[in-house]
Amino acid sequence: MLAVFVVSRIFAANNPYKQFIMEKKEKKTEEFFGTDEQQVQQMESQSTNELFETPDKQPEKKHTFRGMLVFLLVAVGIGVPAMLINMSCHHKKENQENYVYAYGEEPSEGHVSFKKNKSNIINPSTKEIIVEDIDWCHYSSNSDEDPIVLFAKKGKRGFCNIVTNEVIVEPSTYTKAWVFSEGLAAVERNGYIGFVNTSGKVVIDFKFSYRGNSLYEFVFHDGYCVVADSSNKIGVVDKKGRWAIKPLYDDVELTKDYAIVYKEGEFKKQLDFKGHVLQDGIIDDIYDIRYDVQYTDLETGEPKMGYARNNNYYEYRVGSYSGLIDSKGKIITPPIYTDISGITSTLFRARLKDQISIVIIDTKGNVVSSLI
């Protein structure tokens, strides 16, 4: 850009035709200030004609050598860098493999390559292709322990070890599978979940229901995994497939030291991994209940509508359901409603599980009326 700018300035400064026009304009300007009106009109007419006519004899070109020198300098300045860039790109292209690595910019950090419109799993160190033309793959989060990749190929699931280059489960049997966790991976067959080890051998049989429950992942955490039995009730198993917490629940949340279990319409419980109850009566949250009231505006004296907060009764939530509790912590109703709102300070509107039917309950939880 700098070279182009310099050339344009030199060309402008050495343009003889432009110099000729400027000299004519300056001459006419000098003559203008010493003439009468008729002369002014005559000179304006002559000046206009001369500005748009090419003079018969232009000034002699004195800078031909300088122009040639500038042209040569510009040609060299543009051509040499372009040639060097082209040589550099050509050199890199010859020495670089046609791989695009999924993780990291350096080839040694990737286990996926893209070559000839195919995605392949490769050994990150040797770049040897382990599985060719995959649909997708997922690397286990505990990859230091289990350097095993879950992959899909033609709609089936498989596993391969990216250190030993071994395909431990061929993509021919399983349509669903999950990443390895603590040395085990869940696979699905005919609607049931089993577990394979890092050699691809089934070590926990296919006896846990896959569909019909709220579960979506089957991975081990601190030696335990949440699964469902054939009736779709949920429990917890250890790494040998034995029930640590029996399948009696609609939902289970795992922590390192205990599990929170939940049955629809009941309170949550805290259990240890021997099935013992550590804490009962667990709820998720408590909410204020408000109801409409009529009051008199002190300024206008007119009646107005507003709302008041009930300080004696509250709505509590367990999972997706609500119950009524008083200000002393006494449970008035079990969590069997989908929503509770206030009518008065002592009457409440409670919506049933069908999301349509409504009952009216009192402060003792008794149904005093129903609205359908």
User: Which tokens in the block code for residue 120?
Assistant: 């392949």
Cross-sheet strand order for the sheet of 277-282: 251-254, 259-262, 268-271, 277-282
Residue that wins the pLDDT comparison between 146 and 331: 331
pLDDT exceeds 50 at position 356: yes
Q: pLDDT, tens digit, for every residue of 125-164?
A: 899 999 999 999 987 655 445 689 999 999 999 999 998 9
Is 292 found in the same domain as 270?
A: no
Q: pLDDT, tens digit, for every residue of 31-79?
A: 334 444 444 344 444 444 443 344 444 444 444 555 565 555 555 555 5
Highest mean pLDDT among 1-5, 126-130, 268-272: 268-272
Domain contains 102: no
Domain contains 231: yes
Question: Range of 319's domain?
Answer: 285-371
pLDDT exceeds 60 at position 263: yes
Percent of residues, the chain, with pLDDT higher than 70? 68
Report the pLDDT value the prediction gives residue 54, as an integer from 0 to 100.
Answer: 40
Is 212 found in the same domain as 313?
A: no
Is 297 found in the same domain as 246?
A: no
Spatial neighbors of 339 by CB under 8 A, at least 6 apart, are 322, 350, 351
Contact, 9 vs 3, CB < 8 A?
no
Is 159 found in the same domain as 142?
A: yes
What average pLDDT does range 264-285 have in this prediction? 95
Cα-to-chain-centroid distance, residue 257 = 31
Is 292 found in the same domain as 245?
A: no
Domain boundary among 246, 267, 282: 282
State how far the Cα of 4 lies from the Cα of 2, in Å rounded to an integer: 5
Total domains in the fold of the chain: 3
Q: pLDDT, tens digit, for every residue of 317-326?
A: 999 999 999 9
pLDDT exceeds 70 at position 93: no
Contact, 119 vs 134, CB < 8 A?
yes
Domain boundary among 49, 82, 115: 82
Domain contains 155: yes
Least confident of 3-17, 197-211, 213-227, 233-247: 3-17
Domain contains 40: no
Longest CA–CA separation in the chain, Å? 119
C-alpha distances in angstroms, 165 versus 124, 129, 149, 286? 10, 8, 11, 55
Is 205 found in the same domain as 235?
A: yes
Spatial neighbors of 85 by CB under 8 A, at least 6 apart, are none
Cα-to-chain-centroid distance, residue 260 = 29
Domain contains 326: yes
Contact, 11 vs 18, CB < 8 A?
no
Contact, 315 vs 342, CB < 8 A?
no
pLDDT exceeds 50 at position 205: yes
pLDDT exceeds 50 at position 105: no
Contact, 235 vs 247, CB < 8 A?
yes
Percent of residues, the chain, with pLDDT higher than 90? 59
Contact, 316 vs 322, CB < 8 A?
yes
User: Which tokens in the block code for residue 278?
Assistant: 């550590």
Spatial neighbors of 357 by CB under 8 A, at least 6 apart, are 351, 370, 371, 372
Is 250 found in the same domain as 151?
A: yes
Contact, 229 vs 209, CB < 8 A?
yes
pLDDT exceeds 80 at position 296: yes
Half-sphere exposure of 33 (CA within 13 A, CB side): 4
